Amino acid sequence: MDKLENYSAPADLLQDRVILVTGAGQGLGRAAALAYAKHGATVILHGRKTKKLESVYDEIEAIGKERALIHPLDLERAEEKDFAAVAQAIAEQLGRLDGILHNAALLPGLSPLAHQTVAQFRSLLQVNLIAPFALTKACLPLLNAAPDASVIMTSSSHALNPSAYWGGFGVAKTGVDALMKIQADEWEALPNLRINSIVPGVVNSPQRVITHPGEIKKTMRRPEELMATYLYLMGPDSHNMNGKILFC
């Protein structure tokens, strides 16, 4: 696992690029969407709740950067046709796609495996593992047409070191890293496609509040403090990086 040190992204790093960010309504997804927009990208904001996406849209508009688009979708209930519809909408509205940040996650809480139902396990795998696979697959023709396309998966320290009570979420994130490695191998001979994973670590996010409610927020890093890694992997400076796991 690698760690990025002292990277400073140029202001036009993502100029003229189109980036899809899942789970963009809050936390790391919101911070990434804003960072990508500030560095020149047109950002497609995905999430379940339109109101939250509209708030991020307004923030992007307020900083006077490239326009953003909103595409709500409930990943827990999405089927293959729904992912295909996302890709079709991007093609029709923007005509290109240069990157995807798979940030959306489902983690209702920690519990022993014995307490997790099959339905809960299925939902955790659907949102955290199957959806990134299905969305990347649906968007592959657009990504393949881009001169320099980057896909970023969101991993977890509990994928690298599985531990008690993380259940279906931990299993899904372990699968995400395997999926990333497999896709990276398949893209190895394609100079315009790359895929990598980010482990955010401890950060003040809505997910962290669920898993560690007793922590003092002011002692944790803010999502904005992690954006150097997110910008590096999405931009052309990481052109030769493929199949890596970066720790923030």
pTM of the full structure: 0.92
Both tokens of 116, joined, read 């997790």
Angle at 9 between CA 6 and CA 15, to 5 degrees: 165
3-state secondary structure of 88: helix
Distance CA 196, CA 180 (A): 6
Query: Total structural domains in the chain?
Result: 1
The 10s digit of each residue's pLDDT in 210-243 is 555 555 566 678 888 999 999 999 999 999 999 9
Contact 87, 41 (CB under 8 A): no
Distance CA 232, CA 183 (A): 20
The 10s digit of each residue's pLDDT in 107-139 is 877 889 999 999 999 999 999 999 999 999 999
For residue 148, the domain's CATH number is: 3.40.50.720
Instruction: Tell me the DSSP string of 181-192.
Output: HHHHHHTTT-TT
Provide the pLDDT confidence category of residue 92 given band limits of 50, 70 and 90.
Answer: very high
Domain membership of residue 132 as a residue range: 2-247
CA-based radius of gyration for the chain: 17
